[in-house]
Amino acid sequence: MAVHTLASTTGSVSLGPATALSCRECGERFDLAPIFACQSCFGPLEAAYDLPTGDPEALRARIEAGPNNIWRYAPLLPVPEDVATKPNLNPGFTKLVKADNLARELGVTGGLHVKDDSGNPTHSFKDRVVAIALEAARAFGFTTLSCSSTGNLAGAVGAAAARAGLRSCVFIPHDLEAGKVVMAAVYGGELVGIEGTYDDVNRFCSELIGDPLGEGWGFVNVNLRPYYAEGSKTLAYEICEQLGWRLPDNLVIPIASGSQLTKIDKGLKELVGLGLVEDRPYKIFGAQAEGCSPVSRAFKDGHDVVRPVKPSTIAKSLAIGNPADGPYVLDICRRTGGAVEDVTDEQVVDAIKLLARTEGIFAETAGGVTVGVLRKLIETGQLDPAAETVVLNTGDGLKTLDAVAPTTGPTATIRPSLDAFRQAGLAG
Ligand SMILES: *Cc1c(COP(=O)(O)O)cnc(C)c1O
């Protein structure tokens, strides 16, 4: 297939094992560049690799000897070889928590793990994808790092840009949770609230890229999206490595644009292809909030096309009404024998509290969505409780306090006296 050489001022760049961008629809290949749509069919582009061949044992040993962050997987990512020496937030290698108490409560007997990405530098999974996009931005010579965000991404971009010494200017819907707004602003970059939904913000950013106003800007999830998206593969790598280099039976993954879910599948397939894990079937389950469930709707209706919706849910980090990767998510969940489910806001809150109460993990609303969906999948017989399951928590509950604040608080408020405490009935 012809490799197009682009009339770009960036010149040719080198990003580790990544050799080209390839169209997910027609397969046409392009030089590595800050582009995201196929020039022939307008399909989305993704990174293509020349991955290390040869002895899987040697590769496994090399990975295990690497740093305790995503750069241990640098041989499988579109990043320069010396990536670990550059200023970056170095996210990843977050905890895989064996969740026996939650398993007991949900009736899971085959083993249950929570992959807890609240432990990343800005407390969400987004640090993974931004770290990769940052390397692409450096390679292409961008001086401003930007994004359209449902909240977490804005904070991750602000922090990564601060550390890398780049300017940042990020765009969010004007009505986000206070915790997300503060996190997006505190790193000192520009933060712009847009009067509209995330989908409006994203459309605005696409216009900005095409305009001289946006020149020199790397939008991590727009013109750098093919690189950004690859960061989610590290979740697949880590889960398998932390399980002792093997695949789980089931994964329950949240869906916003659907990028994370599709790239976790890509990462799992790479591990099989490289001989790093044994090939066996696994099922991927997608999780949405009922108030923004276009992919779940399409799954249940048996459609291949995702009809956009106007989001209305407390799970704002997942509130993308027109998910770019929707059709790919449907394909993966169907092909692997998984499903896509959704839960109400009330079930999200219940699930946040369930995870906190059983495992001591305080998840943001997205984690409430995945745990709530896991419970529903078991109750409706869609997920086998005798199989081994990994459920993702992608963000920190401190960013979405409002979701649980109305239904949590002190058991009692008393005068500082033993008498008052006795009367409260809490002794023993
Ligand atoms: C962005 C985000 C996701 C997943 O987003 P995708 O667009 O589907 O990749 C999941 N959880 C949280 C908390 C997020 O911020």
For residue 11, name the pLDDT band (cuts at 50, 70, 90).
low
What is the mean predicted confidence (pLDDT) over 158-180? 94
Any atom of ligand 1 within 6 Å of the Cβ of 124: yes
The reply to whether 126-228 shares the fold of 96-123+231-407 is: yes
What is the mean predicted confidence (pLDDT) over 233-239? 98
Ligand 1 center to 314 CA (angstroms): 14
Ligand 1 center to 256 CA (angstroms): 5
Ligand 1 center to 410 CA (angstroms): 32
Alpha carbon 251 to its chain's center: 13
Strand partners of residue 5? none
Any atom of ligand 1 within 6 Å of the Cβ of 149: no
Q: Which helix (H) or strand (E) holds 164?
A: helix 152-164
Ligand 1 center to 95 CA (angstroms): 18
Q: What is the pLDDT of residue 179?
A: 86
Q: What is the pLDDT of residue 1?
A: 36
| Nearest-atom index, ligand 1, CA of 364 | 13
Ligand 1 center to 125 CA (angstroms): 7
pLDDT of residue 6 exceeding 50, the answer is: no
CATH of 96-123+231-407, one of 3.40.50.1100, 2.40.390.10, 3.90.1660.10, 3.40.50.2000: 3.40.50.1100
Domain ranges of the chain: 1-50, 96-123+231-407, 126-228
CA distances (Å), origin 225, targets 34, 44, 358, 399, 410: 8, 9, 37, 25, 44
For residue 8, name the pLDDT band (cuts at 50, 70, 90).
very low
Any atom of ligand 1 within 6 Å of the Cβ of 254: yes
Ligand 1 center to 259 CA (angstroms): 8
CB–CB of 152/400 below 8 Å?
no
What is the mean predicted confidence (pLDDT) over 319-346? 97
What is the mean predicted confidence (pLDDT) over 70-98? 96
Any atom of ligand 1 within 6 Å of the Cβ of 255: yes
Q: What is the pLDDT of residue 177?
A: 85
Mutating to test ligand 1, I would choose from 318, 348, 369, 392 the residue with most ligand atoms within 8 A of its C-beta, which is 318
Fold of 126-228: Rossmann fold (3.40.50)
Ligand 1 center to 319 CA (angstroms): 9
Q: Which helix (H) or strand (E) holds 126?
A: helix 126-140
- pLDDT tens-digit map of 384-406: 999 999 999 999 999 999 999 99
What is the mean predicted confidence (pLDDT) over 309-337? 96
CB–CB of 18/47 below 8 Å?
yes
Ligand 1 center to 232 CA (angstroms): 10
Ligand 1 center to 384 CA (angstroms): 25
Ligand 1 center to 124 CA (angstroms): 9
Q: What is the pLDDT of residue 4?
A: 39
Q: What is the SS3 assignment for 296?
A: helix
Neighbours of 361 (CB within 10 A): 22
For residue 59, name the pLDDT band (cuts at 50, 70, 90).
very high
What tokens does 348 get?
A: 């999200």
Scan for tokens 């499988």, then name that residue: 76
| Nearest-atom index, ligand 1, CA of 260 | 9
Instruction: Report the nearest-CA residue for atom 11 of ligand 1.
Output: 394
CA distances (Å), origin 89, targets 39, 121, 164: 34, 7, 9
CB–CB of 250/281 below 8 Å?
no
Instruction: Report the nearest-CA residue for atom 3 of ligand 1.
Output: 256
Entry pTM: 0.95
Mutating to test ligand 1, I would choose from 115, 124, 292 the residue with most ligand atoms within 8 A of its C-beta, which is 124
- pLDDT tens-digit map of 250-296: 999 999 999 999 999 999 999 999 999 999 999 999 999 999 999 99
| Nearest-atom index, ligand 1, CA of 151 | 15
Neighbours of 178 (CB within 10 A): 11
For residue 5, name the pLDDT band (cuts at 50, 70, 90).
very low
- pLDDT tens-digit map of 189-221: 999 999 999 989 999 999 999 899 999 999 999
Q: What is the pLDDT of residue 292?
A: 98
| Nearest-atom index, ligand 1, CA of 124 | 13
What tokens does 154 get?
A: 């804005």
What tokens does 386 get?
A: 């005798």
- pLDDT tens-digit map of 106-159: 999 999 999 999 999 999 999 999 999 999 999 999 999 999 998 899 999 999
Any atom of ligand 1 within 6 Å of the Cβ of 322: no
For residue 3, name the pLDDT band (cuts at 50, 70, 90).
very low
Instruction: Report the nearest-CA residue for atom 5 of ligand 1.
Output: 256
Residue 380's nearest CA partner among 351, 343, 350, 354 is 343
Instruction: Report the nearest-CA residue for atom 14 of ligand 1.
Output: 317
Any atom of ligand 1 within 6 Å of the Cβ of 262: no
Residue 148's nearest CA partner among 200, 100, 106 is 200
What share of the chain has pLDDT > 70, as a percent? Answer: 97
Mean residue pLDDT across the chain? 95
Q: What is the pLDDT of residue 53?
A: 84
